Amino acid sequence: MVTKARFLSSAMVSLFVIGGQSPALAQEAGGASEFAPIIVTANKKEQDIQSTNVTITALSSEELADKGMDDFADYAQFIPGFDFQKQGASQSQYVLRGASVSRVVPAEPQNRSLVGIYFNDVPMDMNGLNPDIDLYDTRVEVLKGPQGSLFGDSAMAGAVRYIANSPDAGKVEASFLANVSTTKGGGESFNVKGMANVPIVADQMALRLVGVYRDNAGWSDNIFLGTKNTNTEQTEAFRAALGGEIGPNFSYELTFLYQNTDAGTPPYDTDAPGTDGIGGKAQFSRLTDETIKDKLRLGVLTLNYDAGFGQITSVTSYQKRNVDNVLVELVEAYNSFFGNSPNPVLLHDWNMDRFTQELRIATDLDGPFNTTAGIYYSDQELFFGNTVLYPGLDAAIAGGLNPFGLLSPATPRDSYGCVGEVDTAYCGPEIDKYKQFAVFGELYFNLTDELQLIAGGRYYHYKQKFFQDFGGLLNFGQFTGSQKTKESGFNPKFGVSYQANPDLLLYANVAKGFRLGGISNVLPSFCDGDLTALGLTRSDVASYGPDSLWSYEGGVKSTHMGGRLTANGAVYYTEWNDIQTPINLACGYIPTTNAGKLRSYGFEGELRFAATDNLNLVASFAVNDSALVGNAPAVGGLDGDRPPYAVKFKGVAGIDYKQPVSDDMALGFNMTGKYQSKAYDSFTRDNVLFSQFVANAQVSLEIEERYRFTIFADNFTDEYIASQARTRFGVRSYYMGQPRTFGVQFQASY
């Protein structure tokens, strides 16, 4: 096994060689334009990305719009070291640097994210139901490695930050975007988006409004029903931000975000009878089309006070989210417990209310010491309803149907629970209540003008209450239970950065990330045999504690040729302990336990080169090796097995060319391609997710730097994209990405 010291030391030598080539490269400078600085807020204060001791991938709102990227799924596929699982609208899971043990399990409401998701400093993750926030007028930062000290739980492997553009009281501005596209084997899609920034009081108060409507046609077919293009998706979004200044030192911003998504059956591709098999058009068989409706409401109040010695910031938020999901089983795998007469429908209903408050200070002192520190509080309640509905069940029972032989005059259907609920074979509401308090901070000490030492951490304390009430014929009776738990902990971080010269930064970090623990479902007695077969007891799965990930990372950020070339790289080694592992029991329940250990190491690099005034080139890559340490029988893993959905190699390359054709017109060409190696859906390698080469291209005409007409081709090689897979009842099923898509787009800004 490669040791941490050996791997990190050898890789750091390579990084130093890359970063130390500035003098030679500078001799080749030829007068081309330099890249504009990229400003990020990874340390909760504004910094140039080249001066930040964090591995970051960032894209501005203008770049996202120009490339036609609507949501994070469009962007994520081109981020090395980042693997993106998606199995439908609002159903996604992020994998950073190989940290993964299972696929998305939205039906397990305590299946917490490994990657924190934030909108304007507000946590947005919701287990396997991470929101697809529209990216218009928003920039994105992807922070790799544990961010536990400043961002807290669920940022164990990293964080994704959506940062909306703020109101500007100094000018009137507006923008507009519209596109129309057609997808191979599918239908026509169109998107309309707009932004208006209006000063209300000159230089003191402004209102910024953003509106979005997306209507995406599908490309997958339900063979059983004969329906075409079932994976349609409509999104309506609105964002309003009122902001300004009260006096010279105090500013505020009040933001409201509203987003509704209404989507059809995900684009499954199966090898079921009647389909053309895996690898062709997305075809599947379902008894009825599936749907998901996602309603998101978010209010955020941000207050900033310039105290002279630093910025004091308060972020208060309230979030409400409702997700309704209709699921059905595979027709060819359907073996009804009720005589194959009624057709089953599985209804999932999530309702979340979350309040958060953060108060922090980021100092800007002349002396050697500075700090970012604060307190955090959150209060969340999550309701999860799980219902199995068999239309016609009650009528069938009245006609003599007796499932499992359970019914008799003394034991009618209502005696098994779900009293008064029509045609219901199972009902299982769960209520989870969380409260968390944390104190966090990082201390920065400038030992010299070039050398900075960093020490920080986060202390947290949380309480959880859990209630469940399961019943129905499929549960063999009514079963009610409740539990509560609490936990405290501390997550440290240590770092050093060395600014060798204005164009070269070397850094190293040691950090611990964490996820909060939780409570598993109280199991009925008929699950005892399944636990015994796995060598587990009820106490093993009654609750589970936090898991943690230690990361050891070194990196270099360098600028060459007068700003025309940036070359960045990072090397890391991680150890993930006490992994929160969902266990799929044959009895139908999915408890979670802490089990197993995973190690991961890798190398990432990024180059950006302004070859001429008109030509920019970019390239990036990630190499990762992840494996279990010891056996993990609960998930079928053996020592040395690679985790599911962890890609060994991913490389991205792009070209952006703009040629003026007159004083106020320019032609542009942009192409971005990525290759990633194959992965598997489980430790046992039941299904392979094929290697992929995906490329997008655009040709554009820009007029007066205000209007832009674009012809685009996404996945123009028509690569088969599978982001998730599973085998159930002997039938393989893949989630298929978008086939080749052509379209036109118009943008305007004022």
Nearest CA-CA partner of 422 in 401, 399, 393: 393
Per-residue confidence band for 339, with pLDDT thresholds at 50, 70 and 90: low
69 or 355, which is more confident?
A: 355
* Beta bridge partners of residue 726, listed in sequence order: 733
Please give the pLDDT value at position 287. Answer: 75
Per-residue confidence band for 739, with pLDDT thresholds at 50, 70 and 90: very high
Q: Three-state SS for 50?
A: helix
Mean per-residue pLDDT, 688-700: 92
Do the beta carbons of residue 599 and residue 626 sit within 8 Å? yes
pLDDT digits (tens, 9 = 90+) for 125-139: 887 688 888 888 988
pLDDT value at 31 more than 50: no
Please give the pLDDT value at position 110. Answer: 65
Q: Three-state SS for 298?
A: strand
Mean per-residue pLDDT, 197-209: 96
Can you give the length of the chain in residues?
A: 750
Distance CA 694, CA 672 (A): 8
C-beta pairs of 613-617 under 8 Å, 24+ apart in sequence: 613/32, 613/33, 614/657, 614/658, 614/659, 614/660, 615/655, 615/656, 615/657, 616/35, 616/655, 616/656, 616/657, 617/653, 617/654, 617/655, 617/656
pLDDT value at 22 more than 60: no
pLDDT value at 368 more than 50: yes
3-class SS string, 458-493: EEEEEEEEEEEEEECHHHCCCEEEEEEEEEEEEEEE
Please give the pLDDT value at position 204. Answer: 93
Where in the sequence is the domain holding 413, given as residue range(s)? 4-749
Mean per-residue pLDDT, 692-708: 94
Nearest CA-CA partner of 93 in 145, 128, 134: 128
pLDDT value at 583 more than 50: yes
Per-residue confidence band for 715, with pLDDT thresholds at 50, 70 and 90: very high
Do the beta carbons of residue 454 and residue 484 sit within 8 Å? no
Do the beta carbons of residue 189 and residue 252 sit within 8 Å? no
Please give the pLDDT value at position 656. Answer: 94
Here the tokens at position 551 are 């990361």
Do the beta carbons of residue 126 and residue 167 sit within 8 Å? no
Distances (CA, A) of 457 to 99, 373, 491: 22, 10, 5
Please give the pLDDT value at position 13. Answer: 45
pLDDT value at 520 more than 90: no
Do the beta carbons of residue 135 and residue 70 sit within 8 Å? yes
Distance CA 377, CA 680 (A): 38
Per-residue confidence band for 729, with pLDDT thresholds at 50, 70 and 90: low
Q: What is the DSSP string of 633-693?
A: GGGTB-TTPPPTT--SEEEEEEEEEEEEEETTEEEEEEEEEEEE--EESSTT--SEE--EE
Mean per-residue pLDDT, 460-469: 90
Do the beta carbons of residue 278 and residue 734 sit within 8 Å? yes
Please give the pLDDT value at position 542. Answer: 80
pLDDT value at 2 more than 60: no
Nearest CA-CA partner of 271 in 740, 729, 645: 729
Distance CA 533, CA 77 (A): 39
Q: What percent of the chain has pLDDT over 90?
A: 49
Q: Which residue has the tokens 């589970």?
A: 544
Please give the pLDDT value at position 600. Answer: 94
Do the beta carbons of residue 89 and residue 233 sit within 8 Å? yes
Q: Three-state SS for 405?
A: helix
How many other CB atoms sit within 10 Å of the CB of residue 6? Answer: 11
Mean per-residue pLDDT, 157-175: 94
Backbone region of residue 663 per phi and psi (left: phi > 0; alpha: psi in -120 to 50; beta: other values)? alpha
Do the beta carbons of residue 177 and residue 745 sit within 8 Å? yes
Distance CA 117, CA 121 (A): 9
Residue 389 dihedral angles phi and psi, to the nearest 5°:
-110, 130
Per-residue confidence band for 11, with pLDDT thresholds at 50, 70 and 90: very low
Least confident segment among 211-225, 260-274, 639-653: 260-274
Q: What is the DSSP string of 572-583?
A: EEEEEES-EEE-
pLDDT value at 521 more than 80: no
Do the beta carbons of residue 556 and residue 500 sit within 8 Å? no
Please give the pLDDT value at position 561. Answer: 92
pLDDT value at 28 more than 70: no
Residue 371's CATH number:
2.40.170.20
Please give the pLDDT value at position 25. Answer: 36
Please give the pLDDT value at position 337. Answer: 55
Q: Which residue has the tokens 């010279």?
A: 248
pLDDT value at 191 more than 80: yes
Most confident of 294-308, 394-408, 579-593, 639-653: 294-308
Distance CA 137, CA 615 (A): 25
Residue 421 dihedral angles phi and psi, to the nearest 5°:
-95, 115
Q: What percent of the chain has pLDDT over 70?
A: 90
Distance CA 77, CA 91 (A): 16
Residue 75 dihedral angles phi and psi, to the nearest 5°:
-85, -40
Mean per-residue pLDDT, 465-473: 86
DSSP conformational letter for 408: B
- Tell me the residue type at 366: D
Distance CA 327, CA 631 (A): 34
Please give the pLDDT value at position 306. Answer: 96
Here the tokens at position 593 are 């336990």
pLDDT digits (tens, 9 = 90+) for 625-636: 999 998 887 777
How many other CB atoms sit within 10 Å of the CB of residue 545? Answer: 17
Here the tokens at position 170 are 């100094």
Please give the pLDDT value at position 282. Answer: 84
Do the beta carbons of residue 150 and residue 158 sit within 8 Å? no
- Tell me the residue type at 372: T
Mean pLDDT for the chain overall:
86
- Tell me the residue type at 507: Y
pLDDT value at 174 more than 70: yes
Nearest CA-CA partner of 94 in 121, 124, 65, 122: 124
Domain tally, the chain: 1
Do the beta carbons of residue 175 and residue 201 sit within 8 Å? no
Mean per-residue pLDDT, 109-126: 84
Distance CA 139, CA 93 (A): 20
Least confident segment among 75-89, 198-212, 647-661, 670-684: 75-89
- Tell me the residue type at 499: Q
Q: Three-state SS for 414?
A: helix
DSSP 3-state helix, strand, coil percentages of the chain (rounded to 5)? 10, 55, 35
Per-residue confidence band for 292, with pLDDT thresholds at 50, 70 and 90: very high
Distance CA 596, CA 576 (A): 9
pLDDT value at 40 more than 90: no
pLDDT value at 680 more than 80: yes
Q: Cα–Cα–Cα angle for 569, 574, 579, nearest 5°?
A: 145
Per-residue confidence band for 564, with pLDDT thresholds at 50, 70 and 90: very high
Here the tokens at position 509 are 């970090």
Please give the pLDDT value at position 525. Answer: 77
- Strands annotated E in 502-591: 504-515, 518-519, 543-544, 547-560, 565-577, 580-582
pTM over 0.85: yes
End-to-end alpha carbon distance in the chain: 58
Mean per-residue pLDDT, 166-194: 95
Distance CA 576, CA 224 (A): 43
Distance CA 700, CA 68 (A): 12
pLDDT value at 622 more than 70: yes
Mean per-residue pLDDT, 700-716: 95
Q: Which residue has the tokens 């900075």?
A: 452
Per-residue confidence band for 4, with pLDDT thresholds at 50, 70 and 90: low
DSSP conformational letter for 529: H
Please give the pLDDT value at position 26. Answer: 36
Q: Three-state SS for 563?
A: helix
